[in-house]
């Protein structure tokens, strides 16, 4: 349980175990990436548990039967925020190979902590927005500013908030408050709500810079 209506913390024992691996500053990039991948499956179990199904008739090698498949009229869009979000998108695509992947390029201005756009693969015309299910991916939900910018992108194209999910590894309370203030019906799926942000906008205790640790660009 947490104080937010639409924030789901996946505190499965395997998430907790792997979170400790990635929080540890001694963990190297290869082990770091693999531990995140293991957590990703568990996050996506939660993020996709309410996808709608429809009845289908199929024939097994033994007999005809009724079964269920994902509703064909829904389009699932995976939207990783570059660059750290890429660590989630391979697995998202593996478990949902029919999904569309639309990258979002944003970096954080370190002075103002506001997001700066540099790439956006979202079409200008967005047909049937109510039939889209959007999974925005970013391992660190810190100030919430990039989350709000990326949600706005889809909300402005009339995708209902309830169809938008934000998947993160670690979230800061400040960022959750911020996102929930503007988009209360967007579901946030995370493995941890940490203590707070430091003055540079990093999550405490967190894990440092996720992108640098994933892509082995930590400068000592
Ligand atoms: N981005 C990161 O990679 N880490 C943080 O702690 C905050 C934002």
Domain ranges of the chain: 7-214
215 lines ligand 1 (CB under 6 A): no
- Residue 125 has a pLDDT of 81
Give the Å distance between the CA of 108 and the centre of ligand 1.
Answer: 10
Neighbour tally for 34: CB within 10 Å: 13
CATH among 3.30.450.20, 3.50.50.60, 3.40.50.2020, 3.30.750.200 for 7-214:
3.40.50.2020
Residue with tokens 């579901």: 187
Helix or strand or coil: residue 20? helix
- Residue 121 has a pLDDT of 81
Q: What distance in Å separates the CA atoms of residue 98 and residue 127, rounded to the nearest whole number?
A: 18
Q: What distance in Å separates the CA atoms of residue 92 and residue 129, rounded to the nearest whole number?
A: 21
87 lines ligand 1 (CB under 6 A): no
Protein residue with least CA distance to atom 5, ligand 1: 202
Give the Å distance between the CA of 210 and the centre of ligand 1.
Answer: 6
From the alpha carbon of 213, which atom of ligand 1 is closest? 3
172 lines ligand 1 (CB under 6 A): no
At residue 61, φ and ψ (nearest 5 deg) are -60, -15
Q: What distance in Å separates the CA atoms of residue 196 and residue 200, rounded to the nearest whole number?
A: 11
Q: DSSP per residue over 202-219, as a string? A: -EESS-S-HHHHHTT---
| Per-residue pLDDT of the chain in tens (220 residues, 90 and over written 9) | 789 999 999 999 999 999 999 999 999 999 999 999 999 999 999 999 999 999 999 999 999 999 999 999 999 999 999 999 999 999 999 999 999 999 999 988 888 888 899 998 888 888 899 999 999 999 999 999 999 999 999 999 999 999 999 999 999 999 999 999 999 999 999 999 999 999 999 999 999 999 999 999 999 7
- Residue 199 has a pLDDT of 95
Instruction: Select from 84, 114, 176, 206 the residue to mutate for testing ligand 1; criterion: most ligand atoms less than 8 Å from CB.
Output: 206
From the alpha carbon of 84, which atom of ligand 1 is closest? 3
Cα dihedral sign for 94, 95, 99, 102? negative
């Amino acid at each position: 349980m947490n104080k937010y209506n639409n924030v789901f913390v996946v505190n499965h024992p395997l998430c907790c175990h792997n979170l400790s691996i990635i929080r540890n500053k001694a963990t190297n990039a290869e082990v770091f990436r693999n531990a995140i991948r293991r957590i990703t499956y568990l996050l996506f179990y939660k993020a996709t548990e309410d996808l709608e199904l429809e009845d289908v008739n199929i024939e097994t090698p033994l007999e005809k039967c009724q079964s269920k498949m994902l509703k064909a009229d829904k389009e699932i869009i995976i939207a990783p925020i570059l660059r750290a979000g890429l660590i989630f998108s391979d697995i998202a695509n593996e478990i949902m190979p029919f999904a569309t992947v639309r990258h979002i390029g944003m970096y954080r201005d370190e002075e103002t902590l506001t997001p700066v756009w540099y790439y956006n693969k979202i079409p200008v015309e967005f047909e049937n927005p109510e039939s889209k299910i959007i999974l925005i991916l970013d391992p660190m939900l810190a100030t919430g500013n990039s989350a709000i910018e990326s949600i706005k992108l889809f909300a402005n194209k009339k995708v209902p908030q309830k169809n938008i999910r934000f998947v993160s590894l670690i979230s800061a309370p400040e960022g959750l408050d911020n996102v929930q203030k503007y988009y209360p019906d967007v579901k946030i799926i995370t493995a941890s709500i940490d203590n707070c942000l430091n003055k540079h906008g990093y999550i405490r205790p967190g894990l440092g810079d996720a992108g640098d640790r994933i892509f082995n660009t930590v400068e000592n």
